[in-house]
Structure 1
């Protein structure tokens, strides 16, 4: 008499999507989720996902590309359970020199792109009756910064969107939170002069830049069981620069 075959094992970990995950903060976040056994997809415009992650090309300013990316991820891994909206750009210049394109390109990528991602991810989360939405904002969105009116506005907008989604989706066990990094050691800050780096560190009570892994730790905590009752929150990872603003 033959034995009844064992049912196939359920896939390990959750399905996590990290946008802009090919470098810097996004890459550290994707690597942290991979390391804890989650099934991770990374979207970028040019490729380059970390090892162990599904590499999906997507321009978040294109609604069709966002929908196609989700279709690919759902077919390969399953419905997205954790969305980390990290993709962003800068176009810094003083207000009187800021062009319409400087403004609209940053808003469309950082804020409207995050709206597109959250809207598409929520479809699957509502069916699952669970989910985590995490927006990567910036201390600049809370404090402001000369020459960054467009960037600060886009990052501040993420806070209002997250808090609205927290109220809208909470009854379905979907949380929406924001992580607001300060100055982080990435290739974007490596190009600064020594004098600029010294001046920046002088503003930070802890006297140093964050490591990208420290931002990733806040994100994985928000996505984990320990933060199941946290929603509508802004978690600063800024060395005290913003003092909770």
Structure 2
């Protein structure tokens, strides 16, 4: 089997495909001790693995939300065996505002204010040309990816902690790396989700709100996409999600990051990134450094 290759131009010189010391959940610098974590879509795949990473980081409590109670129950039982973290689970659809509000309130009542939310729930419509796609399936990408994240964020606000409250929105490189025929629902909906996150940050400066591309994993969604790109190890995005809530990442709010990027290089680039307003949403090539002539 051929070794994994890198398909897109990097942002940092070093590109990772699995966990490394700087983002390792067992690294004391990334400790989640005393924190309450909530993960949507937490019963399977990346969501479940992220929950496990926070258990490894020593979180006080981890709550997983999802639509399928049987899978949540199984996942919670497995997570309880991996550490001393209290594990909760709630069956809740991210499009059910009342259900979400009830779940967040229950978590806060049982284990305290919620420090970190990982909005992992997402949807990929069947890849097909817009003209021939099923409208209901196509629109579901927008419903889940945008409205679902919006409702999740709102459900968290009344119950967020005062200890560097962090909201991590899983996204995708497909939101910004180019146009992929057949993905007119998924890519634009994820682009909108990423831009929406910028507004959440600006409107709630006391929080840390950030978008994260987890890489390409062996998940149901990746298989459904059919895209022939190299696969990453699950340890990469799960550990990166823990790092995003660490003290070292207190400057990331409102921005979009790939889990592949080396966090020590990012730290060295911190001032430059903030000064130049990089990793934010906008139109490439604008503004240009030209002398403007205004014609009335």
Report deviation, 1:182: 3.3
Change (3 A) 1:135 1:57: same
1:179-234 residue CA offsets vs partner (Å, 9 max, x unmatched): 01332123444679xxx67xx24xxxxxx311122011111111111111221121
TM-score, structure 2 normalization = 0.67
The residue aligned with 1:34 is 55
The residue aligned with 1:60 is 94
Contact 2:37 2:62 in 1 (8 A): yes
Report deviation, 1:81: 1.3
Change (3 A) 1:189 1:113: closer
* 2:250 counterpart of 1:228: yes
Report deviation, 1:29: 0.6
The residue aligned with 1:214 is 236
Contact 1:66 1:117 in 2 (8 A): yes
The residue aligned with 2:188 is 153
The residue aligned with 1:115 is 150
Listed as ranges, the matches of 1:59-138 within 5 Å are: 59-92=93-126, 93-125=128-160, 128=162, 130-138=164-172
Contact 2:104 2:159 in 1 (8 A): no
User: What is the distance in 2 between the residues matched to 1:119 and 1:216?
Assistant: 24
Aligned length: 217
TM-score, structure 1 normalization = 0.80
Extract unaligned runs of 5+ from structure 2. 1-32, 81-86, 262-278, 282-296
Give SS of 2:257's match. Answer: strand
Q: Which has the higher helix share?
A: 1
The residue aligned with 2:197 is 162
Q: Tell me how large the CA RMSD over aligned residues is.
A: 2.4
Which of 207, 214, 224 aligns to 1:181? It is 214
Extract unaligned runs of 5+ from structure 1. 1-11, 202-207
User: What is the distance in 2 between the residues matched to 1:94 and 1:13?
Assistant: 48
User: What is the distance in 2 between the residues matched to 1:187 and 1:108?
Assistant: 19
Give SS of 2:118's match. Answer: strand
Q: Larger relative CO (CA 8 A, sep 6+): 1 or 2? A: 2
